[in-house]
Amino acid sequence: MTPRLGLLALPLVLALPAHAAPTALRCGDLFDAASGRLLGPSTVVVEGERVQAVHRGTVEVPGASVIDLAGHTCSPGWIDLHVHVGQQSNPQSYSEGFRLDEVDFALRATQYVRRTVEAGFTTVRDMGGTLAPNLRDAINAGTIPGPRIIAAGKSIATTGGHGDPTNGLNRRFSALVGTPGPTEGVINGVDDARQAVRQRYKEGSDTIKITATGGVLSYARSPDGPQFTIEEIRAVVETARDYGFTVAAHAHGDEGIRRAIEGGVLSIEHGTFMSERTMRLMKERGVWWVPTLSAGRFVGEKAEVPGYFPEIIRPKARAVARQMAETFRRGHAFGVPIAFGTDAGVSPHGDNAREFEFMVEGGMSPAAALQAATLNAAKVLGSTELGQLAPGFRADVVAVPGNPLADIGLTRRVAFVMKDGAVVRPLAP
């Protein structure tokens, strides 16, 4: 069990090894993700990429560089479990794939990941994008700034389902592209399911995403019909387990959600039309829910803008937007385990913190919303080094002015960000 932060009386001057070159963050307040409480003025001591100590009050650390965050609340770096770092919705999204090269999308994506980390999200889980593994590697190499990326690579779909890259193409283009199969992330049957997971491993993915139901933005009619059999989902989950992967399921419709749970997935993404019976099943099985309220709000707004979406999309966007917030209110009250995710890439990158406000509007306390993006999200990732400010954890820190438990909107006013002990957004003078 991780020791509680700063509960012991400490001397005013700390003796550190002569070779240490620490940084002392003097926080006006500190959000303890484990308890969901503010601990008051605190000093976070960072050595290298990790937190060395967290102390109550202002502590002198010999040889340390000091960053004064008085008047600010420090939080563990936030985690967004559902993003698409290689894209961002715009009125030309459905034609750009015919006009732009992959390098064009990659250059745009360098700005998306910068905005994300500067908004306080130091870790993201990319839920289906071929650029994500490359962006992950470039960020890890220090080539570009950005968050830590857990990449699913190409999501796994069924023929004609949400994630089939040939949806909406006429016969001529379909003939040029060919019929996608497991290599392209499109399956039909158990053997295909296993092959698709193995292909994601071959391509360097970190996790697996399936599209268990229809989706809003795919060029198809249904947003909620089930698109996998339970046997196919089980084959994905079992094969993923062999490679150390967990499986997340995009799912809007209740039957598809139920099949995904029965098949053994770790998390349900969206969950728009979830019934109370399914909520009970999620609680019993310990399946996480990543609601992505930001995406629902965004597509609902854009559905009313003529020409933003193709006509086949607009009715789906309206239906999902109407239902998503209501399902969140019911699911939270029912006690479904919730972790933070936005579907950024549908909604704009860098606006991820709006999700905190939508969650609070849906009945969640500000503290619980922050825990969803720290403690809970780290549990979904299976991480013992993210989601808390405690000794030995990654030195991911975000600071906002004032008290976010009194005003969750302050999460959109990020003033300082540190990732792995390096300042990526310095405090403005």
Report pLDDT digits (tens) over 83-97: 999 999 999 887 887
pLDDT digit string, tens, across residues 206-217 = 999 999 999 888
Scanning 69-207, the segments in alpha helix (DSSP H) are: 93-99, 102-118, 132-140, 171-177, 190-202
427 vs 35, 79, 285, 400, 423, CA distance in Å? 27, 21, 43, 10, 9
Instruction: Return the pLDDT at 99.
Output: 86
Q: What is the pLDDT of residue 18?
A: 45
Q: Are residues 177 and 142 in the same domain?
A: yes
Question: Does residue 379 fall inside a structural domain?
Answer: no
Say which CATH number the domain at 115 has.
Answer: 3.20.20.140
- CB neighbours of 422 closer than 8 A, spacing ≥ 6? none
> Is the model's pLDDT at 4 over the cut of 80?
no
Low-confidence winner among 82-91, 199-208, 217-226 (lowest mean pLDDT): 217-226
Same domain, 271 and 243: yes
CATH number of the domain where residue 395 is located: 2.30.40.10
Is residue 149 domain-shared with residue 219, that is, in the same domain?
yes
> Same structural domain for residues 105 and 247?
yes
Asked whether residue 322 is assigned to any structural domain, the reply reads: yes
Report residue 32's pLDDT band, with 50, 70 and 90 as the boundaries. very high
Is residue 96 domain-shared with residue 185, that is, in the same domain? yes
Q: Are residues 72 and 106 in the same domain?
A: no
| pTM, two decimal places | 0.93
Does a structural domain hold residue 380? no
| Greatest mean pLDDT among 20-24, 118-122, 159-163 | 118-122
pLDDT the model gives residue 20: 54
Percent of the chain residues topping a pLDDT of 90: 83
Long-range contacts of 309-316 (CB under 8 A, 24+ apart): 309/217, 310/94, 310/168, 310/219, 312/219, 312/220, 312/221, 313/216, 313/217, 313/219, 316/214, 316/216, 316/221, 316/222, 316/223
Rg (CA), the chain: 22
64 and 119 belong to one structural domain: no
Evaluate whether 323 touches 273 at the Cβ level (below 8 Å): yes
Q: Which domain holds residue 68?
A: 23-76+388-425
Q: For residues 205 and 345, state if they share a domain.
A: yes
Taken in order 388, 391, 395, 400, is the CA torsion positive or negative? positive
Q: Provide the b/e sequence for 95-105 (b: ≥16 CB within 10 Å).
A: eeeeeeeeeeb
In a domain, 366, yes or no: no
pLDDT digits (tens, 9 = 90+) for 363-411: 999 999 999 999 999 999 999 999 999 999 999 999 999 999 999 999 9
